[in-house]
Chains A and B, each alone.
Chain A
Amino acid sequence: MKQAELLIIGGGPAGLCAAISAASSGANVLVAERNKNLGGQLVKQTHMFFGSEKQYASTRGIDITGILLNELSKYKENVEIMTDTTIVGMFEDGVVTALHKEDNYFKIKPDAVVVATGAFEKALAFPNNDLPGIYGAGAVQTLMNVYGVKPGNKVLMVGAGNIGLIVSYQLMQAGVEVSAILDAAPRIGGYLVHASKIRRMGVPILTSHTVKEAIGKEFLEKAIVCQVDDKFNQIEGTEIEFDVDVMCISVGLTPLNELLSMRGCQMKYVPQLSGIVPLRNENYETTIENVFAAGDTTGVEEASAAMVEGYLAGLCAAAKIGHMTDDFEERKNDYVKQLESLRSGPVGKHILSGIEQIVIKGEQYV
C-alpha cells in the first residue's frame, strides 16, 4: 500500500493548480494522471485564454501547462507525479485503487484527496452517427494540435458553444475547410467575439438547426441538416445537404463524477453545471470528510475558473490535514475574489445559480 498525504486525481488545470497550492502550503502531494502527459485539455488549446492576468489571460492554453509545471517544479521535495496512472476506485475505508500502465494495480492510502477528473463530451443521437469521420470536438483538437494530423478536408461543426467555435477556427488555421457551424439553440452559446471571428472567415453559423442524418457507406460522405422549432422538433422540408467528410460533435461536456459517486459523496443533478455534481462546502470539500473536488467535475466552466478552484481546493485540503499556512485567509480570499470576478457576468450568473444548489454553508472548519 502506497502512503500519501494528499492525493490529487487528475493532472489537468484544476489538478495542477491544486498540487501547486497544496505543495506550497507544505503538504506532501501525489498527483495521479491517467495520460502520459500532464496538462489535461490545455495541451491542445492553441488559443489565448480569457479572464484576467491571475488566470493567465491572453496566454495560450498550450503554454499554460508549462507555466504550471514550472511552478510545481519548485516543490520537487514534496511532490510526486505519476503519469499513466488511472484511479479506478475509491472505497469507504479511504483506500484508493490505481492502475499504472496496463497491468500494475496498486493501492494508495491518502489522508485527503482532491478529485479533479474534469469532464467528458456529450454525444448526439442521429442515424449513422457511428460512421468514421464523425468525431467529438476533443478528438479533432487532439489529432490536429497534439499529433499534427488533419482530421479530414471538409467539416461540419455541430455546436456553437465556445469549443465548437474555437475548434472551427483552429481547423481553418490547419487548412481544413469548415462548411458551417450549426446549433439547435436559437442563439450562439459561445462568446460572440469567437463567433464573429469565424463568421468573418465566411463560415455561416446556423442556429435552430440540427443533424437529421449522416450518409455514407464506409465513411461519412454527406450530412443532412434541418431546422428545428422552438421545442427542438425537426421541421420537415427544411433539409440542407452538406458534402463533408468530417462531422465534429461539440454539444457540451458533462462532469466526470464516477469516483465521487463511488466513494459515496452526495451528488445532485444540476443543469446549470451540466450534470451530476457533488454537494460541497465553501472549501470545496464534499460530504465525505477529506474528499475535495475542483474543476469541471464540480460543474462545467472555463479552464480559468477550474484553475482557481484547483488553487482553492488544494489550499483548503492542505490546511485540513495540518498544513495551515500563515497567509491562509489572505490566499483563500484572493481565490474567492477571483472566482467571483470570473462569475460576475451574464454567463457567470447562470453558473452561480447552479453553484447555489450545491454549496452547503456554515460547515467550515476554519
Chain B
Amino acid sequence: MFEKTGIPSEEMIREKFPPIERINKGPVAVVECYKEIPCNPCETACRFSAITIGEDINNIPVLNEDNCTGCAICLSKCPGLAIMVVDGSKSDTTVQVKLPYEFLPLPASGETVKGLDREGKIIADVKVIQVQNPKSFDRTPVVTIEADRSIMYKIRNIRMEAK
C-alpha cells in the first residue's frame, strides 16, 4: 500500500522508532527512510556518527540511538524531509517532537497549531515550543511541538489555521 499511497503502515513507523526507554532519556532522531535511493546527506551532516549509510549511498540509513543527541541538524539536511526528533524526557504525559516545516508563515512559540498524521488528517491541537531557523538549516526551519504521548507514533506534521 505504501507504494500506492505514500502512507507508511503503523508497523513500518514503529520499526523506525527507537525504543521507548531511549526516547524517555532525551531527544533522538526517527529516520523515516523506507526505500533505497541514492542519498546520504544525513550521514555526512551528523557530527556524532549517529547515522550510517556506508559505501553504497543507496543503503537505508541506520541510526545509532546512543550516539544521537537529537540536535536536529539532519532534519534540515534530509532532502526528503524524512527525519524527525522525539523527546520523552520532559514529561510523563507528553513528548516533544521536532519537525521540519518549510512553509510560511512560521508559527510562533507558545502558539497552538493543528497536529496532523501521515495522511494529513488533523488529530490534535498541539503547542509550539520552539521554532529554529538558523542559517545552517538553509531555509528548512525546525518546529518543536508538544504532543500527548498517545499520538507519538501518529503525529508527523502541523498546519497553521488561516487567520
Interface of B is mostly: loop
Answer whether residue A132 sits at the interface, using C-beta atoms and an 8 A cutoff. Answer: no
Answer whether residue A341 sits at the interface, using C-beta atoms and an 8 A cutoff. Answer: yes
Decide: A196 and B7 in contact? CB cutoff 8 A.
yes
Chain A 52-73: CB-based contact to B (< 8 A → 1; otherwise 0): 1100011110000000000000
Answer whether residue B35 sits at the interface, using C-beta atoms and an 8 A cutoff. Answer: yes
Q: Which residue of A lies closest to B120 (CB)?
A: A202
Decide: A348 and B38 in contact? CB cutoff 8 A.
yes
Partner of B116, one of A47, A187, A202: A202
Decide: B58 and A345 in contact? CB cutoff 8 A.
yes
A173 to B102, CA, bound (A): 7
Answer whether residue B134 sits at the interface, using C-beta atoms and an 8 A cutoff. Answer: no
With A173-B103, A197-B80, A200-B119: A343-B6 Cβ-Cβ less than 8 Å: no
A58 to B38, CA, bound (A): 12
CB contact list, B1-19 vs A, under 8 A: 2-8
Partner of A57, one of B36, B40, B81: B40
Chain B 37-60: CB-based contact to A (< 8 A → 1; otherwise 0): 111110011000000000011100
Answer whether residue A201 sits at the interface, using C-beta atoms and an 8 A cutoff. Answer: yes
CB contact list, A118-164 vs B, under 8 A: none
With A341-B56, A341-B57, A345-B38: A199-B5 Cβ-Cβ less than 8 Å: yes
A289 to chain B, nearest CB (A): 33
A199 to B38, CA, bound (A): 22
Answer whether residue A108 sits at the interface, using C-beta atoms and an 8 A cutoff. Answer: no
CB contact list, B49-105 vs A, under 8 A: 56-58, 77-82, 102-104
Using a CB–CB cutoff of 8 Å, the interface residues on chain A facing chain B are 47-53, 57-60, 172-173, 186-188, 191-203, 205, 207, 302, 304, 341-348
A196 to B16, CA, bound (A): 15
A336 to B102, CA, bound (A): 35
Decide: A201 and B120 in contact? CB cutoff 8 A.
yes
Q: Which residue of B lies closest to A186 (CB)?
A: B4
- CB-CB under 8 A from B103, the residues of chain A are 172-173
Answer whether residue B117 sits at the interface, using C-beta atoms and an 8 A cutoff. Answer: yes
Answer whether residue B144 sits at the interface, using C-beta atoms and an 8 A cutoff. Answer: no
With A52-B44, A58-B45, A199-B7: A193-B57 Cβ-Cβ less than 8 Å: no
A199 to B121, CA, bound (A): 10
**What are 16 A-B contacts defined by CB distance under 8 Å?**
A57-B79, A187-B3, A188-B3, A188-B4, A192-B35, A193-B33, A193-B80, A196-B8, A199-B7, A200-B116, A200-B156, A202-B121, A205-B6, A345-B38, A346-B35, A346-B36
